[in-house]
């Protein structure tokens, strides 16, 4: 086995340059703390970008993985398996859903959702009803279909021609959707209840209610991309509950496996029926190890005291960041819900979110950015309150140095 020591420099030698990772390499984690190769400790407010929902090395997840790993890892989709069936049942019990499709990533769950929407319209209406309406600045993944549905042209540059039949409306502007939607052509409207990547921008409740109504009037499916907002992130198991708006299709990934790659597309029995035998698939989708871990995540996160804890931690973190923002004139607003928070930089600091990430690392706290103007936080849903205190203290030191 290759046990040669590795360093950050190796990245540039052996990896394609699509990422620009920081200079530290974390090697171990426990709860909301991680340690790098040199043994330096970091408080983790990144959560692997809303993925490690129960922190690092959670005993329950370790147990679930260990237990399943000794039974069976994988079966083809020519067979089904117990962990996948149990997880699907649990997801149906906890949500509006009646049918589940498992995949491995957010993009792949969205790909399934978009294909299903087209197929459903093809089954029940006409092949002309294939248009998808999404939103400017939306993020739905990096496959060609999902990046085309996403609302950031720069991610398509050089990869065109893109799939057709996709329109982009303005987020939180119902009139812009009205101008694009039609009974003849629109098969689906897809939206993130809180736009994550583009700056942690929550949808207005009235806007989502309006979308539901527009979709109903036009026989279009409403798809919620809850890849980032799902699995307790907002203090609700899924954000649609918080809004009181029920989608026809919902996608879940990131936090679902707590760090193990797994994703799910949830839908109703009527809509799901359109993914008939042979229409779609995924080799690893429904993998037994992944589903066993996700089962433990959902069983844990769906407990009322865990969800309540998210709201309490959210308030503490929000207040702390607002206070730092005011003391140093760096943030004008902290928005988002639960433990998906966006600290919006003041005009004076606009465009410099990355500097805050770098300054945080210097002081031993890992934060995220969402675009150039927002510092994003997406820590473990069970981050200890004392770790929040420590993280805020370290972040304040970082900001102080930056502002000097
Ligand atoms: C991260 C993300 C995706 C893409 O998920 P991958 O697992 O990277 O494919 C899709 N939609 C939203 C809202 C996301 O935040």
pLDDT tens column, 4-50:
889 999 999 999 999 999 999 999 999 999 999 999 999 999 999 99
Q: Within its chain, how far is the Cα of 356 from the centroid?
A: 22
- The CA-atom distances, in angstroms, between 282 and each of 78, 123, 144, 220 are 11, 22, 17, 26
pLDDT at 256 over 80: yes
Q: Which atom of ligand 1 is nearest to the CA of 261?
A: 7
As a whole number, mean pLDDT of residues 122-135 equals 98
- 328 CA from centroid of ligand 1 (Å): 33
Give Cβ neighbours of residue 328 (< 8 Å, ≥ 6 apart): 399, 400, 403
| Ligand 1 close to Cβ of residue 112 (< 6 A) | no
Q: Which atom of ligand 1 is nearest to the CA of 196?
A: 15
* Location of each CATH 3.40.640.10 domain in the chain: 71-301
Taking the C-alpha atoms of residue 385 and residue 66, their distance in angstroms, rounded to an integer, is 29
Q: Which atom of ligand 1 is nearest to the CA of 195?
A: 13
Contact 34, 28 (CB under 8 A): yes
Half-sphere exposure (Cβ direction) of 175: Cα atoms closer than 13 Å:
0
pLDDT tens column, 316-354:
999 999 999 999 999 999 999 999 999 999 999 999 999
User: How much is the pTM?
Assistant: 0.98
pLDDT category of residue 3 using cuts at 50, 70 and 90: confident
pLDDT at 1: 63
| Ligand 1 close to Cβ of residue 253 (< 6 A) | yes
* Location of each CATH 3.90.1150.10 domain in the chain: 9-57+304-403
| Ligand 1 close to Cβ of residue 107 (< 6 A) | yes
pLDDT at 75: 95
| Ligand 1 close to Cβ of residue 141 (< 6 A) | yes
pLDDT tens column, 186-219:
999 999 999 999 999 999 999 999 999 999 999 9
As a whole number, mean pLDDT of residues 351-377 equals 98
pLDDT category of residue 88 using cuts at 50, 70 and 90: very high
As a whole number, mean pLDDT of residues 102-118 equals 98
Backbone phi, then psi, for 59, in 5-degree steps?
Answer: -55, -40
- 106 CA from centroid of ligand 1 (Å): 4
Q: Tell me the CATH number for domain 71-301.
A: 3.40.640.10
| Ligand 1 close to Cβ of residue 261 (< 6 A) | no
Which of 127, 143, 222, 242 has the alpha carbon at shortest distance from 181? 222
Fold held by 9-57+304-403: 3.90.1150
């Amino acid at each position: 086995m290759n046990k040669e020591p590795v360093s950050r420099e190796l990245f540039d030698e052996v990896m394609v340059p699509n990422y620009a990772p920081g200079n530290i390499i974390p090697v171990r984690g426990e709860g909301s703390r991680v340690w790098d190769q040199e043994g330096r400790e970091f408080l983790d407010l990144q959560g692997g970008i809303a993925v490690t929902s129960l922190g690092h090395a959670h005993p329950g997840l370790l147990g679930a993985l260990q237990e399943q790993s000794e039974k069976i890892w994988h079966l083809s989709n020519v067979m089904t398996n117990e962990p996948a069936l149990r997880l699907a049942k649990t997801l149906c019990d906890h949500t509006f859903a009646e049918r589940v499709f498992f995949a491995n990533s957010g993009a792949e769950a969205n790909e399934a959702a978009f294909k299903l929407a087209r197929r459903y319209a093809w089954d029940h209406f006409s092949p002309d009803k294939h248009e998808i309406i999404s939103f400017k600045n939306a993020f739905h993944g990096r496959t060609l279909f999902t990046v085309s549905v996403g609302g950031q042209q720069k991610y398509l540059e050089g990869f065109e021609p893109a799939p057709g039949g996709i329109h982009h409306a303005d987020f939180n502007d119902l009139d812009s959707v009205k101008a694009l939607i039609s009974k003849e052509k629109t098969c689906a409207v897809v939206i993130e209840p809180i736009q994550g990547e583009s700056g942690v921008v929550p949808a207005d409740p009235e806007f989502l209610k309006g979308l539901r109504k527009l979709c109903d009037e036009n026989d279009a499916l409403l798809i919620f991309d809850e890849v980032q907002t799902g699995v307790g992130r907002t203090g609700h198991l899924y954000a649609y509950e918080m809004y009181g708006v029920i989608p026809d299709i919902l996608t879940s990934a990131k936090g679902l496996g707590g760090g193990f790659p797994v994703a799910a597309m949830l839908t109703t029995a009527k809509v799901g029926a359109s993914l008939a035998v042979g229409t779609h698939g995924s080799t690893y989708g429904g993998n037994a190890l992944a589903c066993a871990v996700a089962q433990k995540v959902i069983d844990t996160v769906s407990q009322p005291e865990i969800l309540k804890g998210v709201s309490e931690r959210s308030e503490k973190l929000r207040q702390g960041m607002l206070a730092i923002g005011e003391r140093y004139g760096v943030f004008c607003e902290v928005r988002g819900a639960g433990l998906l928070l966006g600290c919006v930089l003041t005009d004076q600091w606009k465009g410099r979110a990355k500097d805050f990430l770098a300054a945080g690392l210097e002081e031993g706290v890992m934060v995220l950015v969402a675009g150039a103007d927002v510092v994003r936080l997406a820590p473990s849903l069970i981050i200890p309150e004392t770790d929040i205190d420590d993280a805020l203290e370290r972040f304040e030191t970082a900001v102080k140095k930056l502002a000097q």
